């Protein structure tokens, strides 16, 4: 009897089916293990989150909500989504949670669809001041379909100008006010925004995409119960999969759910929903609070070390996970500096600063953050060393031998702090 030696269709491993992609993934694993990742919106997920993301749940199509699907065979899927929603409600103390948005931008679009009609007025922090595209910036659909009135930061200290927010709100009477940022290193005063929204009868939406993990871990004030609706991504500081969630007061639950489905999208990504459930369970562990506190402490220490080495920080420091650094005193633009850092094994991103005189693709600053290195267990001692490397790169951005030496030292340090979720 002849025994078949070929694998059944669909059972061949990735390395055999597509060695090119398999090799790129392997190289990315090595890069994430051997470099210090300072991008504020990046992090490491656990092996458990990775396993859920890569599970057979990706095979299922599930339009609708638990117990109200348009497809049969949802016995496991309904439980998965209910677990994700229930755990997220517990972690954040929310009345209602929708875990189906594909990412942060669609989650924000769902808020518009639920509360605002095309042409009506909305307000959000302007992109050049540290806001997000979807808060009404001109190149975004949100700035094209709605009348957007951006607010900014004060010229002297680069803090959100709450006097300007109130003045603009009273003048323009927006239907929706966003409080949330993407490159702002300070605590957001949610109660102050709530007071202004109440004065003008606006819906208050808090976008905590960047700080969700800090809120969950008690390292940043929470907007839950203050804002009418809260949007978040489930990656970044929350250490979950690339997805999103919308948390809201009970009176807005039906409007939010209708906006997500059928308003904006069809079937949810069930493998992502499962991974959100896993991440939420991990966020309930005491170690998550320790991690969140470490993120903030590391950012503070790193900022102080950079200032001591002649760097200029926007707002003078940080209250959260990120630092916005003006490279002007170092006589180098943000873009060439970010690229030099990358060659030295220190991965960040160039970023505009408030009132930046340079172009967006060649700005004055860089944005760095501490979530990834905090997840690896690095602390104040390592922050001091990172600051020293960053200063050396700023002084010698084209000394390739020096950058290569630093990259080697970075790799050596990383070996003492294994990257979560990545099997060496």
- Is the confidence at residue 3, as pLDDT, over 60? no
In a domain, 383, yes or no: yes
In a domain, 380, yes or no: yes
In a domain, 215, yes or no: yes
In a domain, 270, yes or no: yes
Each residue of 40-59: pLDDT tens digit?
A: 999 999 999 999 999 999 99
What pLDDT score does 40 carry?
A: 97
Q: What is d(CA 13, CA 218) in angstroms, rounded to the nearest whole number? A: 42
- What are residue 148's DSSP bridge partners? 122
- What's 321's domain CATH number? 3.90.1150.10
Q: What is the dihedral sign for C-alpha 197, 199, 200, 201?
A: positive
In a domain, 118, yes or no: yes
**Catalytic choice (37, 87, 236, 376):** 236
Contact 179, 205 (CB under 8 A): yes
pTM, to two decimals: 0.95
- What is the percent of the chain with per-residue pLDDT over 90, rounded to a whole number? 97
| Span 153-170, average pLDDT | 97
Boundary-marking domain end, from 231, 264, 283: 283
In this structure, what token pair is assigned to residue 57? 């749940």
- Is the confidence at residue 279, as pLDDT, over 60? yes
Residue range of the domain that includes 386:
292-411
The number of distinct structural domains making up the chain is 2
> Is 236 an annotated catalytic residue?
yes
In a domain, 168, yes or no: yes
Based on the fold, state whether residues 254 and 352 are members of the same structural domain: no
**Catalytic choice (159, 242, 258, 358):** 242
What residues contact 129, with CB distance under 8 A and at least 6 apart?
Answer: 150, 151, 152, 153, 160, 184, 354
> Is 61 an annotated catalytic residue?
yes
| Span 286-305, average pLDDT | 98
> Is 112 an annotated catalytic residue?
no
| Span 87-111, average pLDDT | 98
> Is 18 an annotated catalytic residue?
no
| Span 9-30, average pLDDT | 95
Per the annotation, binding residues are 127, 131-133, 251
Each residue of 228-241: pLDDT tens digit?
A: 999 999 999 999 99
Each residue of 183-213: pLDDT tens digit?
A: 999 999 999 999 999 999 999 999 999 999 9
**Catalytic choice (34, 61, 358, 399):** 61
pLDDT bracket for residue 395 (50, 70, 90):
very high
What pLDDT score does 133 carry?
A: 94
Q: Is 258 exposed, middle or buried (0-12, 13-18, 19+ CB in 10 A)?
A: middle
pLDDT bracket for residue 273 (50, 70, 90):
very high
Contact 86, 109 (CB under 8 A): no
In a domain, 244, yes or no: yes
Could you say which DSSP state residue 361 is in? T
| Span 22-31, average pLDDT | 97
pLDDT bracket for residue 359 (50, 70, 90):
very high
> Is 207 an annotated catalytic residue?
yes
Largest CA distance in the chain: 86
**Catalytic choice (63, 78, 342, 392):** 63
In a domain, 158, yes or no: yes
- Is the confidence at residue 6, as pLDDT, over 70? no
Based on the fold, state whether residues 276 and 317 are members of the same structural domain: no
> Is 68 an annotated catalytic residue?
no
- Is the confidence at residue 343, as pLDDT, over 70? yes
Each residue of 77-86: pLDDT tens digit?
A: 999 999 999 9
Average pLDDT, the chain: 96
Based on the fold, state whether residues 336 and 382 are members of the same structural domain: yes
Boundary-marking domain end, from 283, 316, 346: 283
Based on the fold, state whether residues 121 and 99 are members of the same structural domain: yes
**Catalytic choice (233, 272, 315, 370):** 233
Per the annotation, binding residues for (6S)-5,6,7,8-tetrahydrofolate are 127, 131-133, 251
Boundary-marking domain end, from 283, 306, 338: 283
Based on the fold, state whether residues 278 and 298 are members of the same structural domain: no
| Span 163-177, average pLDDT | 98
pLDDT bracket for residue 1 (50, 70, 90):
low
- What's 272's domain CATH number? 3.40.640.10
- Is the confidence at residue 5, as pLDDT, over 80? no
- Chain CA centroid to CA 410, Å: 24
**Catalytic choice (207, 282, 326, 382):** 207
Q: Angle at which helices 380-395 and 334-343 pack, to 10 degrees?
A: 120
Each residue of 245-267: pLDDT tens digit?
A: 999 999 999 999 999 999 999 99
Based on the fold, state whether residues 267 and 387 are members of the same structural domain: no
Based on the fold, state whether residues 117 and 177 are members of the same structural domain: yes
């Amino acid at each position: 009897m002849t025994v078949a030696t070929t694998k059944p269709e669909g059972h061949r491993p990735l390395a055999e089916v597509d060695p090119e992609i398999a090799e790129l993934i392997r190289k990315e694993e090595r890069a994430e293990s051997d470099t210090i990742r300072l991008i504020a919106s990046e992090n490491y997920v656990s092996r458990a989150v990775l396993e859920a993301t890569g599970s057979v749940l990706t095979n299922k199509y599930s339009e609708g909500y638990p117990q109200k699907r348009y497809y049969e065979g949802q016995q496991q899927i309904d439980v998965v989504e209910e677990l994700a929603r229930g755990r997220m409600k517990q972690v954040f103390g929310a009345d209602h949670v929708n875990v189906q948005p594909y990412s942060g931008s669609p989650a924000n679009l769902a808020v518009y669809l639920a509360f605002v009609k095309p042409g009506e007025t909305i307000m959000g922090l302007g992109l050049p001041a540290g806001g997000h595209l979807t808060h009404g910036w001109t190149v975004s659909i949100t700035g094209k379909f709605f009348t957007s009135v951006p607010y900014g930061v004060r010229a002297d200290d680069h803090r959100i100008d709450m006097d300007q927010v109130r003045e603009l709100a009273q003048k323009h009477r927006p239907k929706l006010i966003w409080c949330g940022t993407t490159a702002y290193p300070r605590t957001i005063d949610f109660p102050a925004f709530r007071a202004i929204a109440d004065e003008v009868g606006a819906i208050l939406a808090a976008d905590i995409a960047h700080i969700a993990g800090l809120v969950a871990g008690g390292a940043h004030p929470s907007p839950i119960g203050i804002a009418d609706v809260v949007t978040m991504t489930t990656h970044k500081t929350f250490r979950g999969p690339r997805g999103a969630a919308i948390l809201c007061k009970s009176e807005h639950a039906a409007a939010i759910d209708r906006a997500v489905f059928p308003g904006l999208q069809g079937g949810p990504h069930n493998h992502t929903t499962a991974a959100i459930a896993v991440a939420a369970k991990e966020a309930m562990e005491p170690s998550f609070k320790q991690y969140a506190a470490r993120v903030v402490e590391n950012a503070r220490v790193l900022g102080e070390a950079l200032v001591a080495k002649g760097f200029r920080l926007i707002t003078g420091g940080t209250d959260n996970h990120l630092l916005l650094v003006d490279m002007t005193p170092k006589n180098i633009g943000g873009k060439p500096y970010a690229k030099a850092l990358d060659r030295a094994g220190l991965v960040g991103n160039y970023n505009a600063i408030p009132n930046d005189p340079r172009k967006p693709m060649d700005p004055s600053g860089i944005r760095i953050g501490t979530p990834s290195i905090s997840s690896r267990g690095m602390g104040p001692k390592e922050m001091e060393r990172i600051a020293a490397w960053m200063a050396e790169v700023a002084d010698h951005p084209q000394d390739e031998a020096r950058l290569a030496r630093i990259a080697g030292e970075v790799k050596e340090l990383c070996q003492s702090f294994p990257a979560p979720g990545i099997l060496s």
